[in-house]
A and B are shown apart, each in its own frame.
Chain A
Amino acid sequence: MHKLLASAYKEVLLLTRDLGGIAILFIMPLLLLITITLIQDSSFKTINDTKIPILLVDKDGGSVSESIHEGLMSSNSFEIIMSASEEDAKQKVFSGNYQLAIIIPEDLSKALQKKVNSNVEGILAKFGLEEEETIAKTASETDKKEVRLYFDPATQLAFKSSVKNGIDKMISKIETQSIYKAFQEQLGEEDEVIFETESFIAFREMSQTEGDTIVIPNSTQHNVPAWTLFAIFFIIVPLSINMVKEKTQGTFVRLRTNPVSYTTVLGGKTLVYVAVCLIQFALMLLLGVFLFPLIGLPKLDVSGKLPLLFIIATFAGLAAVGLGLLLGTIAKTQEQSAPFGATLVVILAALGGVWVPVFVMPKFMQLLSNISPMNWGLNGFYDVFLRNGNLTDILPEIALLFMFFIFTSVISIVYNEKKNAV
């Protein structure tokens, strides 16, 4: 025990002697968290502060283009800039000045009206209220119209698909309303409303409740656990560098001649670096609770969850430290350990669902994500933060994290024994 504590104390001294390193260790993850949360916050907000400027070329000038314009304005997501020509709009979008240009074709309103009228008349004729010959002729004369969308080639697929869906929905609604209107006109009931044009079927998102309060996840609740885990796992970089330094400084050689086991040496490092992870975690929570509301971000709600959150952070810290110990044991130079460690964390984060949710990943990647300790940690945090989970709910995740720590530590010890066996 004395040797373990002495080892831990030495690690504390080594860490505190590198104030720049300490600052990077604690400040950079905080900056990362603030930056990511500020960036991602808009996608969680119902009312968006930032509007994307888009170009609209209205060749129609009718009721349909007016409805599209109004629909886009009321979405609160776009700043509509009218453009005179399709060519000009296309040029501006393809050169990256705008994300999107919407071209409403000439006579779209008239064509739609014509087509709707023709369809309505056709239906009425089936009931013997119109002459079928005239109707068939009119319908075939109506050409199809297309609303053209020009996207900046750098635009992300998710944005494209969301815009396409939005416009598609808008046009469907306009078509439906036109059909109802045409029926009403044909039936000679223009003044009286006989068709309710609003959607009959609505949908509402039902959120979890805590007592009488509805729990709606916000960007902070999503980002703090994800990026905290990312920061916790980054501990493998300084830890592995610390171990490689011991090899290059010769202190590791001295330790090998001392009557102390490698397990004890690793134990000292584990104690200190897990503590560092927990301090990082506490700082990030403090940031979420106290600083975020001051800079316009949603407050992190940790009420009644702190013990569980710290349990998960401890086990996530153990898993990260285990990985760092393994990397530090195997790597011979800092040039090996630092880039490899950093890249590994990024890969584990990607696999773990820190950037892209696991459920949208391809099947194979979803399978792979099951072996990322960051995925286990993230699920644990989400259980507590977003699903109101209790200790039983997080047991599988913390058990996996702990087994990962044991597994990596045992490999480190066995590798060291094999490598340095005498």
Chain B
Amino acid sequence: MIEINQLSKKYKGAEDFSVLDLTLTVNDGEIFGLLGPNGAGKTTLISMLSSLVKPTSGSFTINELNYKENKLELKKLIGIVPQEYALYPSLTAYENLSYFGSMYGLKGATLKKEIKDHLETLGLSKFANKRVETFSGGMKRRVNLIASILHNPKVLFLDEPTVGVDVQSKNVIIDHLKQLNKNGTTMIYTSHHLNEAEDFCTRVAIIDQGSIVVKGKPTDLISQQQDARNLEEVFLAITGKALRDYA
């Protein structure tokens, strides 16, 4: 279970808080969607939960482990699928996975089996020994995902895991994630694909300007919003149609 208590983040030099007094509980086995326009604070929240960014105030625990006191244990427990391809382009898929798996302490036959199984499930077996720099965007996304789940994390943070991929790759990725969830992995997921989120998430929260505006099951949110037929209409009704460009 993830318990977030009044978590805030204000970057150095920024005028506003990226995340402001955010309190949230994500239960074990949930796929929790963080939805929001650009600059809403989704990536900052995930970055704080995955030990990449230091919170300005507030706290959180993951499976009752406090991030300040149990850094190493917490890192073993979680996996993060970053928005960018965090891979070595000149290494093959297998070499990348072998290296990142080793960083989680996996080795020998266990490491080989995990890599083989995931590559197979995500349709990359025959490309295992090809350099990542030759891969299409969809293939890189899948390797990027495998590198984060080789150690079977209890909690997985997914920062737009299907951005820029073809429909086939997206389906394979989502199916694989659903399977992982069935096996007990709790997930926090951000995306701008609201249809995908509607189908994929057990609960979602719409964040704007660093705070949760609304949260609940996708079906409940749709039914609560007048004239809304899907999550996208709920989202636009709540966050408005004005552009959210920022730099």
Contact = CB atoms under 8 A, between A and B. Distances in A.
A14 interface: yes
Given A10-B95, A259-B76, A259-B105, A254 B90 contact: no
B72 A259 contact: yes
B235 interface: no
A395 B85 CA distance: 47
A253 B86 contact: yes
B99 interface: yes
A14 B91 contact: yes
Interface centre among B53, B75, B131 (most CB of A within 10 A): B75
B99 A10 contact: yes
Interface in A230-261: 249-251, 253-260
A6 interface: yes
Contact of B86 (A3, A18, A250): A250
B11 interface: no
A8 to B, nearest CB: 11
Contact of B91 (A7, A13, A255, A257): A13
B88 A253 contact: no
Interface in B74-89: 75-76, 78-80, 82, 84-89
Nearest to A5: B102
B90 A258 contact: no
A249 B51 contact: no
Nearest to A2: B107
B54 A3 contact: no
A422 B86 contact: no
Contact of B102 (A3, A249, A420): A3
A18 B102 CA distance: 23
Interface of A: 2-3, 6-7, 9-10, 13-14, 17-18, 249-251, 253-260, 420-422
20 contacts: A3-B102, A6-B98, A6-B102, A6-B103, A13-B90, A14-B88, A14-B90, A249-B86, A250-B82, A253-B82, A254-B147, A256-B51, A257-B50, A257-B52, A258-B100, A259-B76, A259-B103, A259-B105, A260-B103, A422-B54
In the complex, the 4 A-B pairs of residues with the closest C-beta atoms, listed nearest first:
A6-B102, A250-B86, A254-B86, A17-B90
Nearest to B53: A422
Contacts of B67: 422
Given A250-B82, A257-B50, 4 more contacts: A6-B103, A7-B99, A9-B99, A10-B99
- Give the interface size class of chain B: 35 or more
Nearest to A268: B99
A17 B48 CA distance: 35
A166 B38 CA distance: 79
A421 B35 CA distance: 27
Nearest to B147: A254
A249 B89 contact: yes
A9 B54 CA distance: 31
Nearest to A261: B72
A250 B96 CA distance: 13
Contacts of A14: 88, 90-91
A257 B99 contact: no
A258 B104 contact: yes
Interface in B45-68: 48, 50-54, 67
Contact of A6 (B52, B86, B99): B99
Contacts of A249: 84-89
A257 B105 contact: no
A250 B84 contact: yes
A2 B105 contact: yes
Interface in B30-44: none
B217 interface: no
B247 to A, nearest CB: 18
B71 interface: yes
